[in-house]
Chains A and B, each alone.
Chain A
Amino acid sequence: MERLRRHPELQAWLILAIPVIFLLIFFMAPLLIVFVYSFLERGKYGGVEWVFTLDNIRRVFDPLYFKTFLRSFYIAIVTTLITLGLGYPLAYFIAKSPPNRRGALLFALMIPFWTNFLIRTYAWLTLLRTHTGLINVTLMNWGLLSKPLPLYGNDFAIILGLVYGWLPVMVLPIYAALERLDESLLEAARDLYASSGKAFWRVTWPLSLPGVVAGSMLVFIPSLGAFVTPAILGGGKSLMIGNIISNQFLGAHDWPFGSALSMVMMIAMLAATLIYFRWTKKSESSL
């Protein structure tokens, strides 16, 4: 005890030790296992044979899988852009609302999270399904359509589902950045001859960039790895890399290949994140 009191840094380490140990066991260890597995041969009924191989890594770059990789990136990027386009005005509106109304609006934004994501996605299914979905049935009953719209089983449906799912996650950090923004900075910009549009692009936007970056990351990363949404709304025809990975573990029992796909995806995600950060840093300082 005496020693602890004399060395406050020891106390800090003691408090830190618990989360550090937790992370070492439950985060680092599984990651290491995935890393090691991706260089081993598959076992007959799942599991692994302890034989070193680079085949799994090579197979990831097989056009068959690599195309899905690129498509997943494409879907994640489009999802992020649409979520940003919808989320930014929403965050702006909430941040500019009278302070006593902001809480209620943020609360309303969180309500969808009360229902399980899987249930909500299935609910979307009843709306979007090509022949029996509520939207197509209604439009055709009203005579507005002669043929059902392709709302289901394609990239459109996946992106729609992902945008819906991750919109609140985009709004929150942008809201936090905008809410902190000092109103007098905008008045200063107007006072210095900026139109309201110019004031937005030169002051509001650059000062909200940290929120935009955080929100985009929070949407992009889970969108890239999504598997529930493409599994349900993609109708088994339109798949993302997350579905292939889950299939390797649950269906094909090829754990090493699933691990290799995961590792490559993680590295790609890391690279994308770093590029994005560098790009926003640069545009931030050039503004």
Chain B
Amino acid sequence: MAQDEREKLMDLSLEEKIDHSKKIIREAIDKFGTEKMAVAWTGGKDSTTMVWLFRETCRELGVPMPRCMFIDEGYVFDEIWDIVNQLKKEWDLNVVIVKNTDVSDKAEKVGDMIRVADLNERNRQEIAKLEYEEEEFPFEPESFVGNHLMKTVAMNVFLEDNGITALSTAIRWDEQEARVEETFFSSRENPPHTRIQPILHFKERDIWNFIFKYNIPFCVLYKEGYRSLGAKGSTVKMADIPAWEQDLENTYERAGRGQSKEEIMGKLRDLGYM
């Protein structure tokens, strides 16, 4: 998408943004139906916004709400479970908890070592694909191997087993540089499916405006200062004031997460490296 078009969409008013998202969702339902569709829900603010938009659009169209896929990567905040369970009930959602239990069953706690040889064939193949050659790896949801097995593989197995043809995710253009090339629809291989990305044009500030305007329940961790929620071990508070009161425009939302590569590169560049 051209930069000016992207900027135009990002400059829309909140109501116009909501309308645009609903239009994308209608298009998706038209094309794929809701039976073989799933909505990736993390319990975080962005995907909760997306779930609400789906629910509204489905209600308007008179079609059933697609199922929500929640990935349990083995280290989920209790506060996240609370909001997921609350909304599941309040909004009457069909939530499928997706978990790579073959891996998580081998560890009692995060940090425990898991032997590659103890895993099932699928997981062993996935590790081989990563060209990871050690005999063991630590059970760390955001580590190289852990992230792949507990998130990507768990999700792919769910997509394959259920023949999902379209998966909606809540990424946004303003989250990080690498996201600017994303489009509302994009096709994926392995397994083949279409990604629907209906809230790309929302800014972090829009999400909070939306949440307060429509009185959407949200995870208490945001109130404690977390801006962005990942796995428990790698997510940190950005400040002690609520997320929506922080300087959203001039600081990095994801700096509190394990996604530190850009930051490290920036620091190295400042000292003349890279």
A and B: bona fide binding partners:
no
Residues of B that sit less than 8 Å from A by CB:
none
